[in-house]
Amino acid sequence: MTPRFAATAVAHSNIALIKYWGKLPISGNYPAVPSLSLTLDALRTRTRVTFDSQYSQDEFELDGKRVLERPLQRVSSLLDAIRSLASLEYFAKVVSSNNFPTASGLASSASGFAALAVAATHAAGLNLEPAAISSLARACSASSARSIHGGWASLDAGADSANALDSGQNWDVVLIVAVTDPGPKAIGSTQAMIRCADTSPYFAAWVETAPVLFARACGALHHRDLDALGRCMEESTWRMHATMLTAVPAVVYISPITLAIINEIRSRRSASVPAYFTTDAGPHVKVLTMAEHAAAVRSWLTQIPGVTDTIICKPGPAAFVETPVTEGHTA
Ligand code: DP6
């Protein structure tokens, strides 16, 4: 028998209402702007990490397929940080599955790196606070820092780790995902945001104005003012996409169906059925409303040609470990 340390963790995806888009011009993957998100119960990644003295390299399997190159390097960089903290020299096998389309703007890297950070730190025998795990995840993919927490979370500009703001259990909001095209995105968000920073004339304005919008959104969340929060979310969405559309070459994640959904929401919402949209690095649209209006809003969405699925998401839990800290541990 060989030394072996394993753990399985589950993390839920999060969608930013106030977007992280752009990095500080220093190493370490620090966000240039503050962001505010909701962790979602219906979208999750489950990841098993096994460190084993017999492995000769890291291996990464996602949804049943072996993954190489850049995604594997990103996984290995997080494992390296954890190996160094734990003084562990073994390579690892990482087996991960998403219950939603990967790399298509549904924040799979957020839940993915959060689940990996939790599983790998536990498998390595580290007993870290959520802030330390959030920091490890952030260094690989900043949005994943927020998925360590359940409910509402924020990540300040330049911050090491995300903040847990509210469990989300006392306010019945839902985010309804209108899935349009589950195909992978043309350009990853990391490259896209670097291109926006380097080439969009609007990027400086985006960074300069983000803190005020973030503060407005946090105030709206504090007062449970859905209308104010939803409007902040839409402003952040359009400003982020403005930097994308004005990058060279332009980064275009929105599709005609994305716009059709947005137009439908704008024309059908009312004081009695409030609904607000956002869209990220992919064509899907996420709609914020109250749980009592979820069925009505879903029926609007399902009637739009090109909407292939709708997923009603409530506030989700913090990332957690499914197995004991170590198992099959035989020296
Ligand atoms: C549009 O967290 O994927 O979803 O730090 O380079 O891995 P990296 O970027 P990533 O960017 C997410 C961007 C977004 C907005 C958000 O989640 O805040």
Per-residue pLDDT of the chain (331 residues; tens, 9 = 90+): 567 799 999 999 999 999 999 999 999 999 999 999 999 999 999 999 999 999 999 999 999 999 999 999 999 999 999 999 999 999 999 999 999 876 666 768 999 999 999 999 999 999 999 999 999 999 999 999 999 999 999 999 999 999 999 999 999 999 999 999 766 667 999 999 999 999 999 999 999 999 999 999 999 999 999 999 999 999 999 999 999 999 999 999 999 999 999 999 999 999 999 999 999 999 999 999 999 999 999 999 999 999 999 999 999 999 999 965 454 443 2
Order of all β-strands in the sheet with 276-278: 276-278, 285-290, 173-179, 309-313
pLDDT at 278: 98
Distance from Cα 161 to the centre of ligand 1, integer Å = 14
The atom number, within ligand 1, closest to the CA of 19 reads 18
pLDDT at 330: 36
Q: Domains along the chain? A: 4-167 (3.30.230.10), 173-313 (3.30.70.890)
Is the full-model pTM beyond 0.85?
Answer: yes
The atom number, within ligand 1, closest to the CA of 280 reads 1
Contacts of residue 186, defined as CB under 8 A and 6 or more positions apart, other chains included, come to: none
Structure tokens given for 171: 């306010």
Backbone angles phi, psi at 92, to 5 degrees: -135, 155
The atom number, within ligand 1, closest to the CA of 109 reads 3
- Residues lining ligand 1, Cβ inside 6 A: 16, 19-21, 29, 35, 107, 109, 141-143, 189-190, 280-281
